[in-house]
Chain A
């Protein structure tokens, strides 16, 4: 492994060094780099319980040899480690089957997108700590039924991303965010409930801990007094936040990579009606306030909005340059990397199910059934290959459009395509989620629940 005495290059220095070595060896190479400096403050019981500072950087390499890609990465930016990473990427390419359409591109310039705002350099550590403490106090003081606030805090990050390749591409961008979150535990008559809330921004001064704390406490208290849920199939109002969670779990069905590997239930259905005519789904990486916004993707391809479902008709899949070439189309700018360690895949940025024309009262009017407000357990209970889900759920029972009572832990089960096809009305207000998906409330004719 490594000696401590080796000098570490900068991210830009490492990119230049690797591209120079690759050109000398006649290797086609892409270098992706990221650097992230971050602050995290957790507060508990009126005190800072954890404080974390970090500076992390590294490069991921992708070498094209004989029509095949080989990957490697290193967080050690000394020249011997970079040489090893290049050797390893070239060796790996020699093992991998050649991919039709594999190639590097010199894309046009990305859109001008300010994801940096005023920056965080003027914000002191004390101010950040104060946000976490204010949030913790506001949540504890909001109601006597709050027994503790087990999870809450502040985070920010200043991120630099770069992509370069031996075709001459050279892209670099910075972005920044600050957020806070809180999850108050409330208790009454032996029942414990907890529901988080959060706020994401690119401007520190917009953070409002009191509002977030009150919203979280209100949502948690609403769950108290739960009664056993019935089992059966009922009409349902699905809250926008919950629909956003479901769409995030199943975003892979729109991935060109999953489609080409036969792992999407939408494979072969481009142009067909796959959802209710009320459904229009878009992905927009260029929203300034989007959690996953970016000017260019992991291959350096410029970002543009994409319509996936238009009026219920499947309009497009998301592609990176490699999957697009094999599908006979062009990249939609959805090349993605999950950190440095993986390969280049396909992923959405900010998904949005477009708002419709039905107001909240009309959506619930006359409905006796389920108001679904949350699901969990999606990493195991949602199968993006089939679209099937069976998930732990949270929600309320509605009697003739009015909330009757919250429900004890229960499940919902179904298939995401059946659910999208069964949408009867779409609400007029968009809800944001922590999963970078926004969606309105919708009403569906039937949803299977499992309760007592």
Chain B
């Protein structure tokens, strides 16, 4: 993408204002987006994201600049601007800081795509989407089906003034299906959207038909549901995307991005018990082919497996370079960003609660009156207070230890620090679900995950 001589020159120019550290991030990303509505191709698009970002650190303070003009002249101009930007005073030395000997980061790819999106015809991608449509269309009360397809191939170069030189190609593929079931004026939606850090071979494992069928199943299950009750209740949360609760309630405040600003209730709790002893939670960048896989992070560091909580005790935070400077904890390969327009920040990868001793059945049968939240929607958290919320896509009443009638319109709200202690039972059926996580460094692919869990008490926001 860029030769070493030019990269060294740009980094050297950028540090003329006295920066302790400079980092160049160059990106050339090609994406395809396709949409079927009612089986017809409605949108076909995609394109080429192309640019470079230059980050300087003065102590822990960040100056970041980016441009699309990724030519030698454009990069030199960027370096000049960023060197002058520190205080706006524009006082920079006339000389660069000398040459650099780059060391290539030795991180063999964790996964190599077999059916590469750039070498697959769009008609073949459409064929997968039609199969997904077929899995949902006409099932029960399903009246409307939308299928979205996305692939993205991101080639990056990260070079920094410590001599790091890392190149990586990231491949992501995803199909999402949204099914709307309708009966008279009643209308409910079901959504399912698995993806992977793989090529199109991913859809051999998770078939497009099964994606459509799951969206249709949820829409049908909820169509004639009554409204969820409101109040504090015990809740069993399903596996896979159910892990969004840990992601929102706890994950975000274990990122040094929150910890370093004292905007985390867990900032001073390392080594302390913050969760029920049945909870072990992990953030893993090394799962081959996972949606949240990180061969090297966006700071050029190989991905790692980070145990966050072990049997209830807080063991580690997710740490990026600035987080390390501000907190003193070692980097964990967690520096991530949406694209070249963002400076990296500590972010989640594949984050999950690990398997426990219970079974889904034993958890449900232990609840007299409560909610079974089988499929979750998305959620969000306010760092600082730790208050979070998320939507339940598919829910049922639990009555006398048995799954009873379906419930719609539920959300769960709470506070991470409190509710983590209320996860009192963990089953052994761990699986991962895929989402896009939005935060300070943009929207990035992350896995959430868990086995079935039991929360002894949480606020349910229904209206019955």
A residues whose Cβ falls under 8 Å from a Cβ of B: 1-2, 4-8, 44, 47-58, 60, 69-77, 81, 84-85, 88, 91-93, 95-97, 124-126, 128-129, 147-148, 150, 183, 185, 192-194, 231-233, 261-263, 265, 340-343, 376-377, 379-381, 383, 385-386, 388, 390-392, 409-414, 448-452
Residue pair A450, B461 in contact (C-beta under 8 Å): yes
B135: Cβ under 8 A from any A Cβ:
no
> Would A91 and B262 count as touching, CB distance under 8 A?
no
Contact with A along B309-346 (1 / 0, CB 8 A): 00000000000000000000000000000000101000
A450 B261 Cβ-Cβ under 8 A: no
Asked whether, in the complex, the Cβ of A71 is within 8 Å of the Cβ of B45, the reply is: yes
Q: Are A57's CB and B463's CB within 8 A? A: no
The answer to whether B74 touches A8 (Cβ under 8 A) is yes
B105 to chain A, nearest CB (A): 20
A106 to B88, CA, bound (A): 45
- Residues in B neighbouring A341, C-beta threshold 8 A: 31, 33, 45-47, 49
Would B384 and A55 count as touching, CB distance under 8 A?
A: no
A409: contacting residue among B1, B262, B459, CB under 8 A: B459
Which residues of B sit under 8 angstroms from A385, Cβ to Cβ? 180, 187, 189
Q: How far is the CA of A388 from the CA of B408 in the complex (A)?
A: 10
Q: A385-B180, A385-B187 are in contact. Are A81 and B71 (CB under 8 A)?
A: no
B93 in the interface, Cβ–Cβ < 8 Å? Answer: no
Residues of chain A with a CB closer than 8 A to B66's CB: 53-56
Contact status A231-B230, CB under 8 Å: yes
* Contact of A381 with B47 at beta-carbon distance under 8 Å, contacts A92-B122, A124-B88, A390-B409 already known: no
Q: How far is it, in angstroms, between the C-alpha of A409 and the C-alpha of B389 when the chains are bound?
A: 9
Q: Chain B contacts of A50 at CB under 8 A?
A: 61-64, 343
Q: Known contacts A380-B378, A385-B180: does B40 contact A413 (CB below 8 Å)?
A: no
Q: How far is the CA of A383 from the CA of B393 in the complex (A)?
A: 11
Of the candidates B68, B85, B391, the one whose C-beta lies within 8 Å of that of A77 is: B68
Contact between chains at B463 and A390 (CB < 8 Å): yes
**9 interchain pairs, CB-CB under 8 A:** A47-B61, A50-B62, A85-B47, A125-B87, A148-B261, A185-B384, A192-B265, A343-B43, A380-B389
What separation, in Å, do the CA atoms of A49 and B343 have in the docked complex?
12
User: In the docked arrangement, what's the CA distance between A71 and B40, Å?
Assistant: 16
On whether the beta carbons of A390 and B28 are closer than 8 Å, the reply is: no
Q: Given A70-B44, A410-B413, does the pair A4, B378 have CB atoms closer than 8 Å?
A: no
Q: Quick one: which of A4, A342, A376, A411 contacts B71, CB cutoff 8 A?
A: A4
Residue in contact with A376 in the complex, picked from B188, B189, B389, B410, CB distance below 8 Å: B389
Interchain CB contact (< 8 A) of B67 among A55, A377, A381, A383: A55
User: Which residue of the partner chain B has the closest CB to A7?
Assistant: B71
- Alpha-carbon separation in the docked complex, A410 to B382 (Å): 14
Distance in angstroms from B411 CB to nearest chain A CB is 4
Q: What are the interface flags for B78-120 relative to A under an 8 Å C-beta threshold, 1 for contact and 0 otherwise?
A: 0001100111110000000000000000000000000000000
Question: How far, in Å, is A336 (CB) from chain B's closest CB?
Answer: 14
Question: Which residues of chain B have C-beta atoms less than 8 A from A53's C-beta?
Answer: 63-66, 81-82, 85
Contact B44 A95 (CB under 8 A): yes
Whether A49 touches B62, Cβ cut-off 8 Å, given contacts A74-B50, A96-B41, A124-B88, is: yes
A124-B88, A185-B262, A342-B45 given. 12 additional CB < 8 A pairs? A50-B343, A51-B86, A53-B82, A72-B45, A75-B50, A96-B44, A262-B143, A380-B380, A390-B410, A409-B387, A412-B461, A451-B459
When each residue 429-464 of chain B gets 1 if its CB lies under 8 Å from chain A and 0 otherwise, what string results?
Answer: 000000000000000000000000000000111110
Q: Which residues of B contact A452 (CB under 8 A)?
A: 231-232, 459
A381-B391 contact given A410-B459, A450-B231, CB 8 Å threshold: yes
Residue among A7, A57, A390 facing the most chain B CB atoms (10 A cut-off): A390
Main secondary structure of the interface of B (DSSP, over half): strand
CB-CB under 8 A from B48, the residues of chain A are 1-2, 73-76, 81, 84-85
| Chain B, 100-149, CB within 8 A of any chain A CB | 122-123, 126, 143-144, 146
Q: Is B377 an interface residue (CB 8 A)?
A: yes
Most buried by B among A58, A148, A340, A381: A381
Q: Which residues of the other chain, A, contact B410 by a CB distance below 8 angstroms? A: 390
Chain B residues with Cβ under 8 A from A411's Cβ?
230, 389, 411, 413, 459-461
- Establish whether residues A8 and B44, one from each chain, have CB atoms under 8 Å apart when the complex forms: no
* B1 nearest CB neighbor, chain A only: A4
Cβ-defined contact, B461 with A413, below 8 A: yes
A51 touches B62 (CB 8 A): yes
A119 to chain B, nearest CB (A): 18
Residues of A within 8 A of B462 (CB): 390, 413, 448, 450
Q: Decide if A8 touches B68 in the complex (CB within 8 Å).
A: yes
Whether B366 is near chain A, meaning CB under 8 Å from some CB there, is: no
* Shortest CB distance B260–A (Å): 9
Q: Does the CB pair B377–A380 fall under 8 Å?
A: yes
Partner of A380, one of B89, B227, B379: B379
Q: Which residue of chain A lies nearest to B77 when distances are taken between CB atoms in the complex? A: A55
Query: Is the CB–CB distance between B44 and A71 below 8 Å?
Result: yes
Kindly provide the distance from the CB of B37 to the nearest chain A CB, expressed in whole angstroms: 6
Q: Name the residue of chain A whose CB is nearest to the CB of B56.
A: A51
Alpha-carbon separation in the docked complex, A50 to B69 (Å): 23
* Complex: A340 Cα to B232 Cα, angstroms: 45
Chain B residue contacts of A340, Cβ below 8 A? 47
B88, A126: Cβ atoms under 8 Å?
A: yes
* Min C-beta distance of A74 to chain B, whole Å: 4
Chain B, 334-380, CB within 8 A of any chain A CB: 341, 343, 377-380
Asked whether any CB of chain A lies closer than 8 Å to the CB of B403, the reply is no
Nearest CB on A from B462, distance (A): 6
Across-interface contacts of B28 in A (CB, < 8 A): 1-2, 76
Q: Which 9 A-B pairs have the closest CB atoms?
A: A411-B461, A125-B88, A450-B230, A71-B45, A392-B389, A448-B463, A73-B47, A380-B378, A92-B44
Query: Within the complex, what minimum Cβ distance (angstroms) separates A265 from chain B?
Result: 8
A212 vs B340: C-alpha distance in the bound complex, in angstroms?
A: 31
Is B400 engaged at the interface, CB distance under 8 Å to the other chain?
no
CA distance A96 to B40 in the complex (A): 8
Determine whether the beta carbon of B341 is less than 8 Å from that of A72.
no
* Contact (A448, B230) CB under 8 Å given A52-B343, A414-B463: yes
Residues of A within 8 A of B414 (CB): 409
Does chain A have a CB within 8 A of B70? yes
A57 to B385, CA, bound (A): 37
A88 to B390, CA, bound (A): 39
| Residues of B contacting A7 in the complex (Cβ-Cβ under 8 angstroms) | 71
Report the Cα distance A419→B143, complex, angstroms. Answer: 27
Known contacts A1-B155, A51-B63; A383/B189 CB under 8 A: yes
**In chain B, residues 210-234, which have Cβ atoms closer than 8 Å to a Cβ of chain A?**
227-228, 230-232
| Chain B residues, CB < 8 A from A58 | 68
Tell me, in angstroms, the Cα distance from A342 to B72 when the chains sit together. 30
Known contacts: A51-B86, A125-B85, A450-B459. The answer to whether A192 contacts B391 by CB under 8 A is no
What's the Cα separation between A60 and B46 when bound, in Å? 10
